[in-house]
Amino acid sequence: MKRLLAVFSLVFFSSFAIAQNRGLPDFTELAEKQGPAVVNISTTQATRGGNQAMPFPFDENDPAFEFFKRFIPRQPGGNTPREFENKSLGSGFIISHDGYILTNAHVVDGADEVTVRLTDKREFKAKTIGADKRTDVALLKIEATGLPAVKLADISQLKVGEWVVAIGSPFGFDNSVTAGIVSAKGRSLPQENYVPFIQTDVAINPGNSGGPLFNMRGEVVGINSQIYSRSGGYMGVSFAIPIDVAMEIQNQLRLSGKVSRGRLGVVIQEVSRELADSLGLSKPMGAVVNAVEKGGPAEKAGLEPGDVILKFDGKSINSSADLPRMVGVTRPGTRSVVQVWRKGSMRDVPVTVGEMLDERQASARQSRGSKQPEQAANRLGLVVSELTAEQRRELKMSSGLLIEEIRGTSGRADLRPGDIVIAVISKGATTDVKTVDQFNKLLAQFEKGSSVTLLIRRGDMQTFVTIKGLNSGN
């Protein structure tokens, strides 16, 4: 009997082990074949300044780690020379045999020199063909031929739950392989209006930025770009830019070195169930227009606040995040048809799509005029200044505060220097922001740990930003 039980146990556990092994994917072939097309990217940026200590840009507890940007080594203490170098690390992948490489825009942002290292240890100085901050995609070129290149996937075939593999250089460790599954598709993130992100649980860390995300057929489905974390490290939530979005951007960068996007000139928000009921819609869908830019394409076409945009050029708007993406990929000057719900009826509105200013143009418009004297940061960690007369005139704004600087751990990744604070929203009430003193008094009314919503203008677009967990104040 004992012998029979032993034989039975052996057979059972062997079968169990075989069944388990059958259910686990094998990544060895993928890593071996695709690894040579993945590259390490290092950049240097020369900085000039006085003989004073240069603080590290952020510490390990800074929310900047929530969406990692660049891997910047900590500078040694003491006095710094008048000229020094910031170094950063990232990843990329070869998309053509003659040396075109895709990576993240933030990996090469501000770099004076970009070096690409292959798996065979060859190094090349790379030229940045162009970078698009709005999608975080950059195109590089090295002078080489006969290089290994990746295969691109049909993103429409990607399914939630399937295995994916990341290859990159986390913390500078070349060709590191991590694996996981697709957690969601078409994920919208704050202030990222033009990318329907792929969410995964693949372990991504600083240095993985710009590296490829593969399916099990060895085809690239996305560019690893961001993580979500409350600790600064990987917490099981990472995001990749879909490869079809990235390739459309690189096509424009290769042709002209920049990206042209369409715009309507509207401020929109999601249609909730309650809002849908009040507007007479059968279900929550589309994007409701909160405001229309004076003189913009939407106003010229006759769009009004309160309109719900249901379709753009015949394509349904399932959520408000769909509209900026659809309009953004439309060539400026294109005559399109917008289907709107207005006062209980449907109507088609022809509109000529305008062109969105690039970030340099928008920043130039916002930064003209002299800066206000240096100020202390407020409860949000923001240093703000009142708009000059020239800025108000050029931006066609009667009031607002320009974010000059974001300091300390209160500096959120969803706010940027150059943003303009228009209003504070709390408990259904909207208060326009007119002066620094008034803004600080508004913030002082909030209890520690509470949340505050700001209406922000960035370039020619407006958005709502909710900041959670206010500190105790200054």
Identify whether residues 327 and 388 lie together within a single domain. no
Closest listed residue to residue 273, CA positions, set 291, 286, 256, 260: 286
The answer to whether the CB of 137 falls within 8 A of the CB of 246 is yes
Residue 18 belongs to some domain of the structure? no
Long-range contacts: 28-31, Cβ < 8 Å, 24+? 29/218, 30/165, 30/214, 30/216, 30/218, 31/165, 31/167, 31/175, 31/177
User: CA torsion angle for 90, 95, 99, 102 (degrees, to 10)?
Assistant: -30
What DSSP character marks residue 184?
E
Tokens standing for residue 286: 């589309």
Q: Which domain holds residue 107?
A: 24-259
Residue 444 belongs to some domain of the structure? yes
Residues carrying an active site annotation: 106, 136, 209
The answer to whether the CB of 232 falls within 8 A of the CB of 60 is yes
Identify whether residues 364 and 348 lie together within a single domain. no
Identify whether residues 234 and 370 lie together within a single domain. no
Residue 7 belongs to some domain of the structure? no
Identify whether residues 394 and 255 lie together within a single domain. no
What DSSP character marks residue 400?
-
pLDDT digits (tens, 9 = 90+) for 113-133: 999 999 999 999 999 999 999
- Mean pLDDT computed over every residue of the chain: 81
Rounded distance between C-alpha atoms, residue 83 and residue 78, angstroms: 14
User: CA torsion angle for 173, 163, 225, 384 (degrees, to 10)?
Assistant: -120
From 327, 355, 383, give the residue that closes a domain: 355
pLDDT for residue 409: 46
Identify whether residues 349 and 375 lie together within a single domain. no
The answer, yes or no, to whether residue 102 has pLDDT greater than 70, is yes
pLDDT for residue 107: 93
The answer, yes or no, to whether residue 441 has pLDDT greater than 90, is no
Distances (CA, A) of 472 to 8, 304, 440: 66, 41, 13
Strands (E), 11-109: 38-48, 83-94, 100-103
Identify whether residues 61 and 198 lie together within a single domain. yes
Identify whether residues 81 and 230 lie together within a single domain. yes
From 203, 229, 259, give the residue that closes a domain: 259
- Which residues have C-beta within 8 Å of that of residue 295, sequence separation ≥ 6? 396
Tokens standing for residue 85: 């170098």
CATH of the domain at 308: 2.30.42.10
pLDDT digits (tens, 9 = 90+) for 365-398: 444 444 444 456 787 778 888 888 777 777 878 8
Percent of the chain with pLDDT over 70: 77
Residue 410 belongs to some domain of the structure? yes
Rounded distance between C-alpha atoms, residue 328 and residue 424, angstroms: 28
Identify whether residues 255 and 166 lie together within a single domain. yes
CA 102 to chain centre: 16
pLDDT digits (tens, 9 = 90+) for 35-59: 999 999 999 887 655 444 444 444 4
Identify whether residues 350 and 368 lie together within a single domain. no
Residue 326 belongs to some domain of the structure? yes
CATH of the domain at 143: 2.40.10.120
pLDDT for residue 274: 84
Terminal Cα distance for the chain, rounded: 79
Residue listed under structure tokens 């006969």: 146
Residue 397 belongs to some domain of the structure? yes
The answer, yes or no, to whether residue 277 has pLDDT greater than 80, is yes
pTM for the whole thing? Answer: 0.64
Residue 2 belongs to some domain of the structure? no
The answer, yes or no, to whether residue 136 has pLDDT greater than 60, is yes
From 299, 320, 355, give the residue that closes a domain: 355
Rounded distance between C-alpha atoms, residue 451 and residue 474, angstroms: 17
Identify whether residues 347 and 404 lie together within a single domain. no
Identify whether residues 104 and 228 lie together within a single domain. yes
The answer to whether the CB of 237 falls within 8 A of the CB of 199 is yes
Residue 79 belongs to some domain of the structure? yes
Q: Is residue 180 exposed (0-12), middle (13-18) or buried (19+ Cβ within 10 Å)? A: middle
- Which residues have C-beta within 8 Å of that of residue 309, sequence separation ≥ 6? 266, 268, 286, 287, 288, 289, 303, 317, 323, 338, 339, 340
Tokens standing for residue 305: 């606040």
Identify the three-state secondary structure at position 409. helix
Identify whether residues 243 and 382 lie together within a single domain. no
**Number of domains forming the structure of the chain:** 3
